[in-house]
Amino acid sequence: MADRRKDASHAAVRSGKESAAGAGREVRDGLQMSPTLMLDLARRAAELVVEWKEGLPGRDAWDGEFRQVLERQLMEDPPEDGRPAEEVLERAARDILPLSFRLEHPRSFAFIPSSPTWPGVLADFMAAGYNINACTWLVASGPSQLELVVIDWLRRWLGYPESAGGLLTSGGSAASLDAFVAARESAGHPERATVYMSDQSHSAHIRAARIIGVRPECIRLLPSDDRFRLDMDALARAVAEDRAAGFNPIAVCANAGAASTGAVDPLEAMSDYCEAEGIWLHADAAYGGFAAVTEEGKKLLRGIERADSIGLDAHKWFFQPYEAGGLLVKDASTLEKPFAVRHDILQDTIWGADHPNLSDRGLQLSRSFRALKIWMSVQTFGMAEFRRAVSQGMELADRAGEYVRGSPVLELLTPVSLGIVCFRVNPANAGLDGKTLDKVNRTVLAHLFWDDPAFVSSTLLHGTFALRLCILNHTTTWDDVRETLEAVESFGKEALSKAS
Ligand SMILES: Cc1ncc(COP(=O)(O)O)c(C=O)c1O
């Protein structure tokens, strides 16, 4: 469609304001800055970020500070008069941004790390610069169409039918919330609603269930088996007992990559069961879902395409900056039913059939343009590179598992799955009791935290303390993993010698 104001706006850019800025002075006018200043600042900001990224391997994967110290540095009244803009940038880069878990550090193995691509970072800058609000077709037709493109890519990677649709969200928590809303709606808003998930499911789902009004005592956390997968018999029993007692099951949540262990619940069996029982099945693939772009991941996630909804986060294993979550539902209309709410002020935004307003599919009206980062990264690098990067995480984790199995000091605690390795210091034949082992491994974790560049976190496996590596970053090499495991062995031996 012709941009009728194009000539006028170009003329404004070429106007006197810009030529005044051409002199290179810091020119501000109200809340505006001259083009030259904007470019200088953008260049400096880019330099700071690139220098930071380049320097990461030489730094620790974590840094932080106590509140009393930070309060002294940062707690202040907002200044009445502005300061030089570059000084403000430098201060953020010096005093604030580095004090964090450096998630993209090559030795970042804690929780769920992430290593965004540069086109993804730039896309966020451009989306902010163009000030996109991806709410409705009228307000953002280009961005809306691009989101449909990206959603279609996700759909195909996951093996969903063409009837599927969805939206990009802030993350997995928002995706599960939107999914539970759709589940409740499709169940007809019953009283005494119950939801089911394994004891390995992410707390995001408990929170989502609470938000939609499921009473805490109606959120059933079912036991997982020795491979940390949902116990199907326990699910069937719980549903039957609840129905007999007058409760109304509205949703079952399956792990497609549990955060602790990477375990994948029996997706085929859960689909069979939920189809037969008429219960909504949501697959939480927040971190594991992008494994589906690889052949091995597809096999591991087989059955996911039968779920009613799937949540997956591109800010985890698809190398995007925060926030980049996604929710797909098998039948796109199941989201619009609960979420599309008309308002007089928005009457002009209805373009009719085939022009979806993405805000009709979820919680947010004003929405950032998340699709751009995924699209720009994939356009720039191509899927072959993304597949290689996801596979690399799985291969390094498998290799780490082999290393642990071959170590005289370490014990593998769960099967390696989707980039996650759970293990502990426990020399074979040492005959150490559980309490001593927990103490030794907590000591090792503390040593890693304070005395090693890597950042490793822990979890509990049916109550047993475990060290856990989550190896997803495309910047991580085998040397990063091996040297971290060697550090665990060495700290472990030291802790064992003190424990005995
Ligand atoms: C398996 C799983 N589900 C859900 C979530 C919540 O996702 P988000 O933090 O993007 O809201 C996470 C976060 O790490 C996760 O690992």
Q: 254-287, pLDDT tens digit by residue?
A: 999 999 999 999 999 999 999 999 999 999 999 9
> Taking the mean position of all CA atoms in its chain, how far away is CA 11?
43
Q: Is the pLDDT of residue 337 over 70?
A: yes
Specify burial of residue 76 (Cβ count, 10 A radius: 0-12, 13-18, 19+): exposed
User: What CA–CA distance (Å, rounded) separates 74 from 58?
Assistant: 27
CA of 252 to the centre of ligand 1 (A): 17
Residues flanking ligand 1, CB < 6 Å:
112, 171-173, 202, 204, 257, 259, 284, 286-287, 313, 325
Region 407-425: what's the mean pLDDT? 98
Q: Is the pLDDT of residue 7 over 50?
A: no
Residue 9's pLDDT is what? Answer: 43
> And the tokens for 2?
């012709």
pLDDT > 70 fraction of the chain, expressed in percent and rounded: 95
Q: Indicate the SS3 state at residue 275.
A: helix
Task: Quickly state the pLDDT bin for 87 (edges 50, 70, 90).
Answer: very high
Atom 7 of ligand 1, residue of closest alpha carbon: 172
Atom number, ligand 1, closest to the C-alpha of residue 112: 14
**Between β-strands 248-255 and 165-169, what pairing exists: parallel, antiparallel or unpaired?**
unpaired
Q: Is the pLDDT of residue 15 over 90?
A: no
**Cα torsion through 31, 35, 36, 39, rounded to 10:** 90
Residue 6's pLDDT is what? Answer: 47
Residue 17's pLDDT is what? Answer: 41
Residue 352's pLDDT is what? Answer: 78
**What mean pLDDT is reported for the chain?**
94
Q: Which residue segments constitute the domains of the chain, with CATH numbers given? A: 133-381 (3.40.640.10), 384-499 (3.90.1150.170)
Specify burial of residue 345 (Cβ count, 10 A radius: 0-12, 13-18, 19+): exposed
Q: Is the pLDDT of residue 21 over 80?
A: no
CA of 302 to the centre of ligand 1 (A): 20
Q: Is the pLDDT of residue 25 over 70?
A: no
CA of 244 to the centre of ligand 1 (A): 33
Residue 460's pLDDT is what? Answer: 98
Residue 3's pLDDT is what? Answer: 59
pTM, rounded to two decimals: 0.95
Residue 27's pLDDT is what? Answer: 84
User: What CA–CA distance (Å, rounded) separates 445 from 457?
Assistant: 7
Q: Is the pLDDT of residue 370 over 50?
A: yes
Residue 429's pLDDT is what? Answer: 86
Region 386-407: what's the mean pLDDT? 98
Residue 474's pLDDT is what? Answer: 98
Residue 2's pLDDT is what? Answer: 54
Report how far apart, in Å, the C-alpha atoms of 228 and of each of 133, 179, 259, 289, 302 are.
41, 23, 11, 18, 17
Atom 14 of ligand 1, residue of closest alpha carbon: 112
Q: Is the pLDDT of residue 490 over 60?
A: yes
Q: Is the pLDDT of residue 8 over 50?
A: no
Q: What are 100-111's pLDDT values in tens digits?
A: 999 999 999 999
Task: Quickly state the pLDDT bin for 147 (edges 50, 70, 90).
Answer: very high
Atom 6 of ligand 1, residue of closest alpha carbon: 172
Tokens 């799937």 sit at which residue?
A: 310
Region 454-483: what's the mean pLDDT? 98
Q: Is the pLDDT of residue 37 over 50?
A: yes
Q: Which residues, in sequence order, are bridge partners of residue 417?
A: 420
